[in-house]
Amino acid sequence: MAENNPTPNQNEPQPTPQGNPAPAFDYDKLASLINGKQSVAEDTVLKSYFKEQGLSADEMKQAIGAFKEQKAKNTPDIAKMQSEVESANNAKLTAEVNQSATLEAVKQGVDVASIPYVLKMADFSAVTADGKINTEKLTEAVKKVLDDIPAFKAKASENAGGVQKIGGDGNGTSDGTKQNSSVPTKKWNRFNI
C-alpha cells in the first residue's frame, strides 16, 4: 500500500504559500523598543557597577545622571552636522556658478568693471540641478542680462583685441606725432653748422 508521506521529495516542487502577506512592521516602534531595552540594560549595568563601588542609592542616581549627561555631550548632533555639510555644499556650488558666470560674461564681451553687476542681476536659480551646473542655462542667464542692459558690454573700440600702444614711439615724442620741422635742430658736426 502507498503511504501518504508528509515530507516532500527533493525532486518535487515545493508548494508556495498563496495569499499569506508578509507581516507589516512598524519600524519606528521597533526602534523605540530596542532603544528602551538598551537603556534598561545600560541602567542595570551602571547600577551594579556603582553598587560594587559601594555608593548609596542617591550617589548612584547622581553618578548615572552624570554619566548620561557626559554621554549626551559626546554624542554628535547628526542633524547639525548634516546642515553644515549641506551649507558648505551650497556655498561651493554658488562659488562655482559665479566663477562659470564670470567666464561666460568675459566670453560675451562684458566690461571687466561691469561683471559683478551682471552677476548680481542674472537669475541663476535654474542653472543648478542635482549639484551640477547647466552651462546652457548659465549662458542664457548672462545673455538675458546683456540683452536687457546692453551698456554692460564693452565698446567695440575698447575690445578691439589688437596691440595697444603704451609709451613713446622712439622719436622723442610720446603722443606718436612727428616733431615740428620748423624748429631748428642742432647738428653736431665738426664745423657746427
> Per the domain annotation, does 147 fall within a domain?
yes
> Per the domain annotation, does 56 fall within a domain?
yes
> Per the domain annotation, does 189 fall within a domain?
no
**Do 85 and 148 fall within a single domain?**
yes
**Do 86 and 120 fall within a single domain?**
yes
**Do 83 and 148 fall within a single domain?**
yes
> Per the domain annotation, does 87 fall within a domain?
yes
Can you tell me the distance from the alpha carbon of 43 to that of 28, in angstroms, rounded to the nearest whole number? 22
Distances (CA, A) of 55 to 47, 58, 59, 63: 9, 8, 6, 9
**Do 148 and 86 fall within a single domain?**
yes
> Per the domain annotation, does 115 fall within a domain?
yes
What is the DSSP track for 90-139?
HHHHHHHHHHHHHHHHHHTTB-GGGHHHHHHHS--TTTEETTEE-HHHHH
**Do 58 and 123 fall within a single domain?**
no
Which residues lie below 8 Å from residue 117, measured CB to CB, with a gap of 6+? 152
**Do 86 and 65 fall within a single domain?**
no
- 50 φ/ψ sector (left φ>0, alpha ψ -120 to 50, else beta): alpha
The pLDDT of residue 16 is 53
pTM of the predicted model as reported, rounded to 2 decimal places: 0.47
Helices (H) and strands (E) in the chain, counts: 5, 2
**Do 146 and 123 fall within a single domain?**
yes
Can you tell me the distance from the alpha carbon of 160 to that of 162, in angstroms, rounded to the nearest whole number? 6
Interior angle at CA 36, CA 30 and CA 40, nearest 5: 145
The pLDDT of residue 181 is 57
Can you tell me the distance from the alpha carbon of 97 to that of 115, in angstroms, rounded to the nearest whole number? 13
Q: Could you give the number of structural domains in the chain?
A: 2
Domain extent for 38? 32-75
- Give 48's Cβ-side CA count (13 Å radius): 5
> Per the domain annotation, does 38 fall within a domain?
yes
The pLDDT of residue 8 is 54
pLDDT in tens, the chain (193 residues): 455 555 555 555 555 555 555 566 676 776 777 777 877 888 788 788 878 888 777 887 888 788 888 888 888 888 889 999 999 998 999 999 999 999 999 998 888 888 999 989 988 888 888 878 888 998 999 999 999 988 888 765 454 555 666 766 666 555 556 655 565 666 666 666 5
> Per the domain annotation, does 170 fall within a domain?
no
